[in-house]
Structure 1
């Protein structure tokens, strides 16, 4: 196993997606750094700060410049970042005036952070698309099972009847909010980093803000209020969002794990995991992975909060904490979204077992409803006492069902209705419609 399973050829596909993995490959990251350097040269040429010929030479060289990772490693170990060694290799292949013009007025962190932001823009698009695809699947599943009655459970005990559609709507509602949060986060996250050595842009002799504004436009990024070398709140906010999303999906996985237990068997995964020695088993592996991703992101999140503690105008170790954690969190979130979608698309909902669970309760899940039904007839206190006595009679096998136990009591009015589970679903249907309508509105707004 590799240091991180996400980087493993064997384990990686369990936890992340090829598209997210591709964004964080070494060659992709270095290509982003070259992209930022080319954009910087172009805007400085446009502003008359370097020769047009220099910008053209830098742009042309970037198309053919082959980065040798092995040659960069000694410089990376020495400098702690790849940019100085990268620039040394690149300058050796550039003629004048491009050699002098390259990287003018920038600092290493400007290039690395802006390259990260460009990567996060692509990651944002991947996550947004997969989130909306999953929500569409959930909405369809909720509507398909809006009338599928099952046991509602509180404190892991059977409580009152609900519908499976309402349960799915409960999974969907937080994701609708998370989609809104991602949209709100975008302008705070996709922001240029350009400040020079200590965030003053002093190397550009009064032209720093003009260069920063033009560079932001060239890269289609927002212009920063000021350089954010040691202001890492947007990255921490993204990490919080990633943990929220995988936490919501972990709740889906946890529910499915419980419903898939052999004694319950109200759902089964379409792609069932097997055992090497017990052929009767159908392991809910996909649900397990959702829970694992949620717990891992919750474990990684504090590292991004620790990385907020930075020193003066340029930090020391906080940067490395981000490198060690944020890509993992993005990879886990992409994998969890895709896995959840496939899981719910193929989920087997065993409505017969759901009904069998209701039948086996012998009407006890109607206890609350009968208390309310009896209250206007005999008063609240007497109704609660009568229903409690009837519950005990059922539990002690003195009556086959709650309805029979109540019917056998003296003083129970003949006008008491005989209830069933469908009668006590409350606003379940309306709540499902409200959640799916909120998703429809969100998707219309997104275009």
Structure 2
């Protein structure tokens, strides 16, 4: 785990002791299924659950000898459990335990991230409505285009995050599968009913068909969804960074009392939080490529994916969790400067209204080519820094032939560009019930607590965790 960026809820998902708790629960549930089926004596599962102890230090010591983490785990359990340990892992293979447990952890991590996204959506919705009428210039290619509103920009981000939430919900469902189908996936030594029992108790679905492992396209889709989300976070952060540039300064990150922007230049107020997000997004994207490389394994399975997943799954979920929380705080506290937006809107002397003028000419019967050339000719003159665009077009013979002074004046009203915002907002926020903004982390935690309810007797007896 990346200590600097690991938040408490996500840390608990990927702690080694928690992984071992789930491993033990999978083993216990398999025993319970066998016990209910009359395959092992009654009372075995209760005795194992009562006597089992998880000792990460002992597991690590055994693994140094056996060179196999699941074998080390089982041998460490055998010491306190005694003769009943012979019923553990009967008919199972290591990946039955590892992949099923990993699905639980990935689902828990997804629940936390989905909660984070709800918090972000709540802030985006609030600030989009707050700045719905805050007019600013829209830019394409970095060059002034036409007026928009800052709220409109945030509404676009809201809709984008909502799409990411839908994607993550889908991959969370896709990854929440377990397998207890044995070494080659054929249920050679345990029937499908054991897998179905264990998965139902863990809140998973049985994988319809598996080899020795759950196929890694599921994991690649999960990491790809996180990479897409990270890409959008970088997009939003990049916009904040641009808006905070000194020559733009339409918005900026909150600068807290006592904060320092530079060790050398006392005046600096830098967008360091947004820059941090842009950097972290690169790691999450790179990890998604590693997940794609894990799809192609030899035959029914090799182990080349295992070492990769030990890094990319904790790191990517930890980073996305951190990034969403940080982005939410950036946008919640973002300083917005409407006066500077208005000032920048007027930098080009009205050039941003050129298309409105062109459309008005066409509506009055002008030919498109002639009208375009007339508007462009005056625009290019205004670019030189002489007269203002509105003054030039008012004197143009072709333009004045079709438009009178009041019609030309109407073309330079920025509010004209926001006249459909009500309908746009109705589309975007029509069903915003899932973005309450107050259920983020508890929602993720609650899902985990529900799954842990059946494992309560084991929790708290971990030694050395």
- Give me the TM-score of the superposition, normalised by structure 1: 0.90
Contact 1:38–1:55 (CA under 8 A) maintained in structure 2? yes
1:233 aligns with 2:220: no
Question: Structure 2 CA distance, aligned partners of 1:220 and 1:398?
Answer: 70
Cα offset, 1:84, TM superposition? 0.5
Equivalent positions of 1:239-318 (< 5 A) are 239-271=223-255, 274-318=261-305
Counterpart residue number, 2:347: 360
Contact 1:290 1:336 in 2 (8 A): yes
Which residues of 2 match residues 310-329 of structure 1 at below 5 A? 310-329=297-316
The question of 1:138 aligning with 2:131 is answered no
Which of the residues 419, 422, 427 maps onto 1:434? 427
**How many angstroms does 1:95 deviate by?**
2.9
**How many angstroms does 1:176 deviate by?**
1.0
Deviation of the 1:271 alpha carbon: 4.1
* Alignment gaps of 5+ in structure 2: 444-465
CA contact (8 A) 2:178 2:206 kept: yes
2:48 is matched with 58
Q: Partner of 1:95: helix, strand, or coil? A: helix
1:20-419 aligned at under 5 Å gives the runs 20-62=10-52, 65-69=53-57, 71-77=58-64, 81-96=68-83, 98-204=84-190, 208-228=191-211, 229=213, 231-271=215-255, 274-377=261-364, 378-399=366-387, 401-411=388-398, 412=400, 413-414=403-404, 416-418=407-409, 419=412
Deviations 1:94-147 (A, max 9, x none): 132x12111111111111111111112211211111111111110111111111
- Displacement of 1:77 in angstroms is 5.0
* Equivalent position SS for 2:137: strand
Aligned counterparts of 1:167 and 1:128: Cα–Cα separation in 2: 22
How many Å apart are 1:79 and its aligned residue? 5.4
Specify whether residues 68 and 323 from structure 1 end up closer, same or farther in structure 2 by C-alpha distance, changes over 3 A only: closer
Alpha-carbon contact 1:117-1:191 (below 8 Å) kept:
yes
**What RMSD in Å do the two structures reach over aligned CA positions?**
2.1
Asked if the contact 1:196/1:203 (under 8 Å) is kept, the reply is yes
8 Å CA contact 1:37, 1:102 repeated in 2: yes
Q: Deviations over 1:152-210 (max 9, x none)?
A: 01111111111111111111112111211222223321111212122122223xxx211
Q: Distance in 2 between matches of 1:218 and 1:160?
A: 57
Instruction: Tell me if the contact between 1:176 and 1:438 (Cα under 8 Å) persists in the aligned partners.
Output: no
Q: After the TM superposition, list the runs of 4 or more consecutive aligned residues in structure 1 that deviate by more than 6 angstroms.
A: none
Structure 1 residue 362: deviation in Å?
A: 0.9
- Which structure has the higher relative contact order (CA within 8 Å, separation 6+)? 2
Q: Secondary structure at the match of 1:52?
A: coil
TM superposition shift of 1:364? 1.0
Q: Helix, strand or coil: the match of 1:121?
A: helix
> Is the Cα contact below 8 Å between 2:350 and 2:390 reproduced in 1?
yes
Cα distance 1:81–1:173, how it changes in 2: closer, same or farther (>3 A)? farther
Name the SS for the 2:90 alignment partner. coil
> 1:403-436 deviations in whole A, cap 9, x for unaligned?
1111122241315331221123353442233112
Residue 352 of structure 1: CA displacement? Answer: 0.9
Aligned partner of 1:7 among 2, 10, 19: 2
Distance 1:325 1:95, change over 3 A: same
SS at match of 1:48: coil
Q: Note closer, same or farther for the CA distance 1:194–1:290 as it changes in structure 2 (3 Å cut).
A: same
